[in-house]
Amino acid sequence: MASEIEISPADTRKAPGKDQQAAGVGILLQIMMLVLSFVLGHVLRRKKVYIIPEASASLLIGLIVGILANISDTETSIRAWFNFHEEFFFLFLLPPIIFQSGFSLAPKPFFSNFGAIVTFAILGTFIASIVTGILVYLGGVLFLMYKLPFVECLMFGALISATDPVTVLSIFQELGTDVNLYALVFGESVLNDAMAISLYRTMSSVKADPSGQNLFMVVVRFLETFVGSMSAGVGVGFISALLFKYAGLDIDNLQNLESCLFVLFPYFSYMLAEGLGLSGIVSILFTGIVMKHYAYSNLSQSSQRFASAFFELISSLAETFVFIYMGFDIAMEQHSWSHVGFIFFSIIFIGIARAANVFSCAYLVNVVRPSHRRIPPKYQKALWYSGLRGAMAFALALQSVHDLPEGHGQTIFTATTAIVVLTVLLIGGSTGTMLEALDVVGGDDDSPLASVGTVTNFDGRNGYIAPPYNEESSSGNKIKMKLKELHKSAASFTAIDKNYLTPFFTSQNGDEDDEAEPFTSTRSGFHGQSPYSS
């Protein structure tokens, strides 16, 4: 006991210096990897090397550094300062990524394809989640893979159904594809995140409270999470629009205050939803959509430039760091690699579920649409191929480690990490070849959607030309008539937005266009004309 008393003062004197040194090494390592990722990504895009996309380069950098750190004698200290908890992930990394997804949506291409996007993102994600969960459960029952309880299989199906086609969308823009195909892929990925996290939280609550496992309560919990979170986000977005419209903050000496308030509203939405027991991610997503459509046009020009650059910057940093961390995590953390069969069959089942999602929803959309606006088979195949997994699936898998007992969460986390890495490296690297094989590169005048618009379908006054809806006689099928009514409701919402919402929440009238440019997204790299295109 005496020797321990003599040693402990020395340890306390040395500890702060060692902690500072470890912190400095860890932070320096992270900064160096970020710098290297951005520089390498720039070089790859400039050289038009599509085999190794930027996200893949970030993953490989994290993997290499993790392997080097794992074999060095500084492994423990570096891991202590590089590893972070899921709270850091959800509070500081995911919010800017998700907000920028909603904020970068161009309203006119989005709402002109709104019915199809909602079908793929809501109904399609539900189908993919259920199909994946059932197949994984059956695989366990048949001893093809590690067996999980049915509810946990549904949780895995929900989290792995979250798509993040950042790599595919970037190459879509580089090679030039139809703007409607781009809108479908990007719009689905944005709303898909909200659906996936709502389904995951619903299944998680069912897991925590087995007594409430009847279908009615499951539906109620899902609606509570999804609709409640969406309402909170939309409400905060509308409040911000009214504030910036009437507060008079767009004068020179108040523009700093205007910019600060605009940056704070997204986190206010996130924390409000979390405080109410809802989903902050879903809330901040819809806040981004509403703030860009209504509040953004009420800002001064300098504040608009600042807001766009700021959110694009932090989103790009956060997403690059996520991919670096995923590569680093593979080398540094203990994974359940013994369940290789779970990973292998999960990849097969995810492909089947993605096919059930895309082709069934495309059929419903084509039933509604006139013949000249139907989604052609080659676009459906491109949609199926674009179902990469990314930040949201990884984050929910990280959460599942604590939500699920007995190592089940660790198995799901390992499988999800492997799936994200494989889809980004393999599918992302072969996207250019896929686009050329499907013949969807460049403006195709013969495409069934060509009359709707290509990437250059913008006029000088009104921006994006919304596709017309043709009143064609139905075959008499009642289901088709109902679907056509739902399709026309999207056009009705556009009219309500133009005639009532836009004049009320913005300082412009409904005839003005607040978004006369293509999609601008850091997730996709689509920022007008690419600086790397010839």
Question: pLDDT tens for residues 349-402?
Answer: 999 999 999 999 999 999 888 888 788 998 899 889 888 888 788 888 888 888
In the predicted structure, residue 508 carries a pLDDT above the cut 70 = no
Query: What crossing angle do the helices spanning 94-103 and 280-290 adopt, rounded to 10°?
Result: 30
State residue 357's pLDDT score.
Answer: 94
Which pLDDT does position 489 carry in this prediction? 57
Question: Span 218-243, mean pLDDT?
Answer: 90
- Write out pLDDT tens, residues 245-272: 888 776 767 778 888 999 999 999 999 9
Which residues are CB-contacts of 27 (< 8 A; sequence separation ≥ 6)? 81
Based on the number of CB atoms within 10 Å of its own CB, is 384 exposed (0-12), middle (13-18) or buried (19 or more)?
middle
pLDDT band at 74 (very low <50, low <70, confident <90, very high): low
Residue 129 pLDDT level (bands cut at 50, 70, 90): very high
| Residue 82 banded pLDDT, cuts 50, 70, 90 | low
Say if residue 124's pLDDT is above 90: yes
* Separation of alpha carbons 452 and 441, rounded Å: 16
pLDDT at 51: 77
Q: What is the C-alpha to C-alpha distance for residues 59 and 65, in angstroms, rounded to an integer?
A: 10
**Distances in whole angstroms, Cα of residue 380 to Cα of each of 403, 435, 486:** 35, 12, 21
Whether 303 is in a domain gets the answer yes
Largest CA distance in the chain: 94
pLDDT at 247: 83
Report, as an integer, the average pLDDT of 199-209: 86
Residue 527, pLDDT above cutoff 70:
no
Split into its structural domains, the chain has a count of 1
Cα-based distances in Å from 99 to 92, 195, 233, 416? 12, 15, 11, 23
pLDDT for the residue 452:
41
Token pair, residue 165, equals: 């086609």
The confidence score (pLDDT) of residue 459 equals: 38
The residue type found at 160 is I
Tokens linked to 67: 């392997």
End-to-end CA distance of the chain: give it in Å, rounded: 74
Q: So what's the pLDDT on residue 532?
A: 47
Q: Which domain holds residue 271?
A: 86-438
Containing 108, the helix (H) or strand (E) segment is: helix 107-112
For the entire predicted model, the pTM comes to 0.77
- Residue 180, domain member (yes or no): yes
Round to whole Å and give the CA distance between 395 and 98.
Answer: 12
Whether 23 is covered by a domain: the verdict is: no
The pLDDT value recorded for residue 399 is: 84
434: Cβ–Cβ under 8 A, 6 or more apart, which residues? 382, 385
Total residues belonging to the chain? 534
Does the pLDDT value for residue 10 go beyond 80? no
Q: Is residue 155 part of a domain?
A: yes
**Alpha-carbon gap, residue 238 to 517, rounded angstroms:** 23
CA distance linking residue 97 with residue 100, whole number of Å: 5
Quote the tokens at residue 495. Answer: 């009219």
Q: Give yes or no for a contact between 259 and 303, defined as CB atoms under 8 angstroms apart.
A: yes
Does the structure show a pLDDT above 60 at 290?
yes
pLDDT value, residue 479: 58
Q: E-strand spans in 303-353?
A: none
pLDDT of residue 16: 60
Does residue 439 come out as left (phi exceeding 0), alpha (psi in the -120 to 50 range) or beta?
left
- In this prediction, residue 36 carries a pLDDT of 92
- What is the reported pLDDT for 439? 81
Tokens standing for residue 337? 């690699």
Give me the residues paired with residue 526 across strands: 521
More confident residue, 46 or 209: 46
Three-state SS for 498?
helix
Q: What is the rounded CA–CA span in Å between residue 108 and residue 113?
A: 9
| pLDDT confidence of residue 213 | 60
Answer with the residue of higher pLDDT: 139 or 528.
Answer: 139
In the prediction, which pLDDT does 386 show? Answer: 83
Q: Is residue 71 part of a domain?
A: no
Whether 28 maps to a domain, the answer reads no
- Determine what percent of the chain is predicted with pLDDT higher than 90: 24
Name the DSSP letter for residue 178.
Answer: -
Q: Domain of 241: which CATH number? A: 1.20.1530.20
The average confidence (pLDDT) of the chain is 78
Burial 281-312 (b: 16+ CB within 10 A, else e): bbbbbbbbbbbbbbbbbbbbeebbebbbeebb
| Residue type at position 133 | G
pLDDT-based confidence at residue 24 (cuts at 50, 70, 90): confident
- Please indicate, yes or no, if residue 160 is contained in any of the structural domains: yes
pLDDT of residue 187 exceeding 90, the answer is: no
Q: Which helix (H) or strand (E) holds 40?
A: helix 2-46
Q: What is the pLDDT of residue 450?
A: 44
In angstroms, rounded to a whole number, what is the distance separating the alpha carbons of residues 361 and 125? 10
Give the residue, 496 or 214, on which the prediction is more confident.
Answer: 496
Q: What is the pLDDT of residue 460?
A: 36
471: Cβ contacts below 8 Å, ≥ 6 apart:
none
For the stretch 409-434, pLDDT in tens is 888 988 998 898 888 888 877 877 88
Residue 163 within any structural domain of the chain: yes
Lowest mean pLDDT among 117-121, 210-214, 239-243, 476-480: 476-480
Summarised one tens digit per residue, pLDDT across range 470-507 is: 444 444 455 556 555 555 555 666 778 788 888 888 88
What values do phi and psi take at 249, rounded to 5?
Answer: -95, 5
